[in-house]
Amino acid sequence: MLDQYRPATWLIAAVAAWSLGLLLATAAGLGGQVGPHPGNPALGPEIPALRFSESAQRLGPPSDYLAVGERPLFSPDRRPAPVAVATNDQQAPFEGVLTSVLLTETLRMAIFSENNGQVSKRVRLGDTVPGTGWRLASLEPRRAVLEGPEGQRILDLRVFDGQGGQAPTPVVAIQETKPPSADAAGSQNVAGVQTPPSLVQQASQANDEAQRGAEEQAQVEAIRARIEARRQQLRDQAKDNNAPVSER
């Protein structure tokens, strides 16, 4: 039994001896002279100094990159696309008319129309009409002054002259006619010509139908009144005779 626990016993004994020795060394002054570093900066390590030197420019002058523009990478033929410079001679002539003028405290603008109203251009005072060499120099409530290659051009505000547009819907007057007589109706039927009834005829027919409906309703009410009176008479007779009488 003692042989089985001998290795563990020796291990415990060794740890106990080491702990006891460490305790004795600490009591004798082990680690008593260990403390923080003194505050003298001269005792610390020297900080290295940084020195910057001017390096050469990596990008060269613009003349070194002329080949990039002369041989563009994304062009199929590696040739630059032609650039068209618009001049006053190449600009289209202006053939518009003044259709609107807007004058406010903060905005002075004119609206011009071209190609029979298909194209509308809005131009502020002092700006150039898009696509032309004409500039809006002056603006009045009913007039605009343009300056261009041919000098000055004065455009008056276009007003409606009464021409063009669709004709108004014609107004047809409805004439009341008397209903035709029997002879006239017969002659029309013989001739095979049928005319639609007028408003007066339609009103007369509606009035006749209303009268016939009132007469029929009056007849129904009269029949109901006679039936009710007959039933009341039979009830009175039954009370007098004290005998049941069947209602017919």
Instruction: Let me know if residue 234 belongs to a domain.
Output: yes
Amino acid code (one letter) for 46 = E
Instruction: Let me know if residue 138 belongs to a domain.
Output: yes
User: How confident is the model at residue 149, as a pLDDT?
Assistant: 82
- DSSP class of 239: H
Distance CA 30, CA 23 (A): 9
Instruction: Let me know if residue 30 belongs to a domain.
Output: no
CA 146 distance to own-chain centroid: 37
Instruction: Let me know if residue 133 belongs to a domain.
Output: yes
- Greater pLDDT, 186 or 224: 224
Instruction: Let me know if residue 54 belongs to a domain.
Output: no
Residue with tokens 């009056």: 218
User: Among 156, 151, 116, 119, which Cα is nearest to 135's?
Assistant: 151
Q: Is the model's pTM score more than 0.75?
A: no
User: How confident is the model at residue 59, as a pLDDT?
Assistant: 80
Instruction: Let me know if residue 28 belongs to a domain.
Output: no
Instruction: Let me know if residue 126 belongs to a domain.
Output: yes
Distance CA 142, CA 98 (A): 9
pLDDT at residue 190 greater than cutoff 70: no
- E strands, the chain, are 97-103, 108-114, 119-124, 135-140, 143-148, 151-156
Torsion of CA 180, 186, 190, 192, to 10 degrees: 30
- Greater pLDDT, 29 or 17: 17
Specify the number of domains making up the chain: 2
Per-residue pLDDT reduced to its tens digit, 63-112: 888 888 888 888 888 887 776 555 554 456 778 889 989 898 888 999 99
Mean pLDDT rounded to a whole number for the chain:
76
Which residues constitute the domain of residue 241?
Answer: 198-248
User: How confident is the model at residue 110, as a pLDDT?
Assistant: 92
Instruction: Let me know if residue 69 belongs to a domain.
Output: no
The confidence band for 145, taking pLDDT boundaries of 50, 70 and 90, is very high
Per-residue pLDDT reduced to its tens digit, 167-187: 555 555 555 555 555 454 444
